[in-house]
Amino acid sequence: MTKAQRACLAEALVSGYDLLRRGAPSIDAVEATIRVLEGSGLFNAGCGARPQLDGTRRMDASIMEGRDLRAGAVAGIEGVRYPVAAARLVMEETAHVLLVGPLATHFARHFKLDRQPSPGKRVQRTVSLPRARLTGLQRKTRDLFAQMQKPSRLRREARETVGAVALDRDGTVAAGASTGGIALMLPGRVGDTPLIGCGVYADNEAGAVSMTGLGESIIRIAVAKEIADRLAGGANPATTARLVLAKLTKRVQGSAGALVLSRDGRFAITHNTARMTAGYWSGTGRPVVADRFP
């Protein structure tokens, strides 16, 4: 984790918690926290999102609240500074849960959401995708997945999706996540982040969960819902997260990191990747930020 990332995470935690302290709902805190991270350009989300193999940055985000199980998400959205804000609008302004592709972008434009600044040189130099090379790229992508599924490689390759979970004074939990995806994605690839029950879940009868890691493995276990279901039975967040991550490894050779918050405020930051940059704050002292959690 860089110094700038550490400072940004602390700022994000403070901005989210300040809202909770003033009595705002947990979904506001989750959105505000994620927006700080998206806007910073320091993580793989929003302004810092990585491009797909055709050089276009397509982003995924979702948000969910646990009182009425309302959720919103966008996948493959382009040119938006705060994709989580688009997800929130899907939740609040439509009867749907998920919008995808150019029409999700169109939706964001309709609501005049802030635009993502144009990418830096590094992003502009990304390879294009001539049709003839597609087979080669498929092979390359498969090889990459094989490598990424080794725990020690995952965080280096799939860098810094952002997410947050929160519990407000009314006892409502919320979760959200936002990402630019993984390295060497085929255009059109969608990960776990915008899929409710895979990348995020929130239920006042259980708790809130936000995931990071290789989406292709997280989706196959529906990890966020699996963790939430166990929390609903009263299980401890840390034990639950460890058990489900162990299942992820055993069944689909996946590794991941989870932010888990139970409905009564117990929480865990758990990962079976080498590192996971994350933090927490309960309003006293300074926010805790680290890139390894026990």
Question: Is residue 165 within the footprint of ligand ASP (CB under 6 A)?
Answer: no
206, 214, 224, 228: which one binds ligand ASP (CB under 6 A): 214
Question: Is residue 182 within the footprint of ligand ASP (CB under 6 A)?
Answer: yes
Pick between residue 19 and residue 224 the one whose CB is nearest to ligand ASP. Answer: 224
Q: Catalytic site residue 161?
A: yes
Q: Would you state the structure tokens that stand for residue 54, as one six-digit string?
A: 């055709």
Q: Are 137 and 53 in contact (CB under 8 A)?
A: yes
CA geometry: angle 127, 128, 129, nearest 5 deg: 120
Question: Is residue 191 within the footprint of ligand ASP (CB under 6 A)?
Answer: yes
Pick between residue 26 and residue 179 the one whose CB is nearest to ligand ASP. Answer: 179
Q: Considering only 19-27, 108-116, 142-150, 210-218, which stretch makes contact with ligand ASP by CB under 6 A? A: 210-218
26, 52, 116, 161: which one binds ligand ASP (CB under 6 A): 161
CB of 266 to ligand ASP, least distance (A): 23
CA geometry: angle 45, 47, 52, nearest 5 deg: 60
66, 83, 119, 213: which one binds ligand ASP (CB under 6 A): 213
Pick between residue 66 and residue 213 the one whose CB is nearest to ligand ASP. Answer: 213
Work out the burial of residue 22: count CB atoms within 10 Å of its CB; fewer than 13 is exposed, 13-18 middle, 19 or more buried.
exposed
Question: Is residue 72 within the footprint of ligand ASP (CB under 6 A)?
Answer: no
Find the largest Cα–Cα distance for the chain: 57
CB of 85 to ligand ASP, least distance (A): 19
**Buried b / exposed e along 106-143 (16+ C-beta atoms within 10 A):** ebbeeeebbebeebeeebeebeebeeeeeeebeeebee
- The residue annotated as part of the active site, out of 56, 126, 135, 161, is 161
Contacts to ligand ASP by CB under 6 A? 158, 161, 179, 181-182, 191-193, 212-215
- Catalytic residue IDs: 161
